[in-house]
C-alpha cells in the first residue's frame, strides 16, 4: 500500500502535473495540500476520471486539503481540528481508506515569528497534538500525512544557520513536533534513512532546486500499530524538476499489506 503526500501549491495551475504524477506513481492514497481553490472549483471530475475517489476541503485563494484513494472512495471522518471555533482555515481532513485512518494536514507556516501568525501556528500544533492523542487511543492504524511546515532537525535543512529565526525551525516549533512524536508516532523517512539528507521542498528562488538547497517539511507519521508495516519511503524529486512545478515534491511510503492490522475501521469508530 503506497501512501503519499504532496503540497500541490495551487491545483488549478498544477492539475496536469498532478494527473501525470498520479498516472506514473499510482499511489493508493494521496494527501494534497495548498489547493488554493474554493470548494466548488475543485477539479473532482478530472481526478475521478484518473481512477481516484476524493474528498476535499477547499478555501478561496489559500490553504485547502484533499484525500485521494485509488479505486475506492475515502470515507470521511471529519474536517478541521477541534479547539478553536473561530478557525475557518481549511487545513485538516480525515478519512478511512482500506481500513487505515488517513489524517491529511497543512500546518500553518507561522512567519513572521514572533507574531500573531506564529502564535496561531503554535496553538494549531497544540490542537494537533490533542487530536494525535485521540487517534492513538483508538488503537487504529493511522497515517498522519501532510505539509507540517516543521524542519525537525539540522539534518533536515540546507545550511541550518540561515533558518534559526524562521517559524519552521524555531525551538518552539521543533519542541511541539517532538512532543507529537513522543506520543508514539514514527517519522517514516527518518526511521528508514536516519543519517541521510533528504529534502521535500526547494524554494523557487536562487536556483534552490539546482543547488539542492532544500528542507524536509513533508512528513508521514505512523501510529504504533502501523509502524511494523513500513517497508519503503522516498521522495519523487524528479517531479520538482519539471516545467511549472510545485515547490514541493511528492513524498511517499510503502506499507506491507500483510502487516497492516486486520481490524476493520469504520468512520463512526473514530471519535
Active-site residue numbers? 106, 147, 248
Which positions ≥6 away from 235 have C-beta within 8 Å? 189, 198, 199, 200, 249, 250, 251, 252
147 among annotated binding-site residues: yes
Residue 248 counted as an annotated binding residue: yes
CA distance 130 to 2: 27
103 neighbors 97 (Cβ within 8 angstroms): no
**Contact at 8 Å (CB) between 240 and 170?**
no
207 belongs to an annotated ligand binding site: no
Nearest residue to 65 (alpha-carbon basis) of 167, 1, 147: 147
7 in a known ligand binding site: yes
Q: Are 101 and 135 in contact (CB under 8 A)?
A: yes
| Nearest-angstrom CA–CA distance, 121 and 67 | 22
62 close to 36: Cβ distance less than 8 angstroms: yes
Contacts of 142 (CB under 8 A, 6+ apart): 100, 101, 102, 103, 135, 136, 222, 223, 225, 226
Residue positions forming the annotated binding site for Mg(2+): 7, 34, 147, 149, 247-248
Residue positions forming the annotated binding site: 7, 34, 147, 149, 247-248
Amino acid at each position: 500500500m503506497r501512501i503519499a503526500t504532496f503540497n500541490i501549491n495551487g491545483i488549478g495551475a498544477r492539475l496536469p502535473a498532478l494527473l501525470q504524477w498520479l498516472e506514473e506513481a499510482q499511489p493508493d492514497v494521496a494527501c494534497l495540500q495548498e489547493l488554493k481553490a474554493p470548494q466548488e472549483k475543485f477539479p473532482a471530475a478530472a481526478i475521478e476520471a484518473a481512477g481516484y475517489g476524493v474528498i476535499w476541503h477547499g478555501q478561496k485563494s489559500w490553504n485547502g486539503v484533499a484525500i485521494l484513494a485509488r479505486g475506492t472512495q475515502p470515507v470521511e471522518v471529519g474536517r478541521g481540528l477541534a479547539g478553536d471555533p473561530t478557525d475557518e482555515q481549511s487545513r485538516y481532513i480525515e478519512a478511512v481508506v482500506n481500513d487505515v485512518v488517513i489524517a491529511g494536514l497543512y500546518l500553518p507556516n507561522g512567519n513572521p515569528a514572533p507574531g500573531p501568525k506564529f502564535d496561531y501556528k503554535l496553538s494549531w500544533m497544540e490542537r494537533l497534538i490533542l487530536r494525535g492523542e485521540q487517534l492513538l487511543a483508538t488503537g487504529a492504524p493511522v497515517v498522519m500525512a501532510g505539509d507540517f511546515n516543521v524542519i525537525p532537525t539540522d539534518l533536515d535543512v540546507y545550511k541550518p544557520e540561515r533558518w534559526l529565526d524562521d517559524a519552521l525551525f524555531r525551538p518552539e516549533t521543533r519542541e511541539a513536533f517532538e512532543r507529537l512524536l513522543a506520543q508514539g508516532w514514527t517519522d517514516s523517512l527518518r526511521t528508514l534513512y536516519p543519517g541521510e539528507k533528504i529534502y521535500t521542498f526547494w524554494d523557487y528562488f536562487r536556483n534552490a532546486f539546482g543547488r539542492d538547497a532544500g528542507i524536509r517539511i513533508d512528513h508521514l507519521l505512523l501510529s504504533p500499530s502501523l509502524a511494523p508495516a513500513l517497508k519503503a519511503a522516498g521522495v519523487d524529486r524528479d517531479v520538482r524538476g519539471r516545467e511549472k512545478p510545485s515547490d514541493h515534491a511528492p513524498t511517499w511510503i510503502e506499507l506491507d499489506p500483510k502487516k497492516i492490522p486486520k481490524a476493520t475501521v469504520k468512520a463512526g469508530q473514530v471519535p
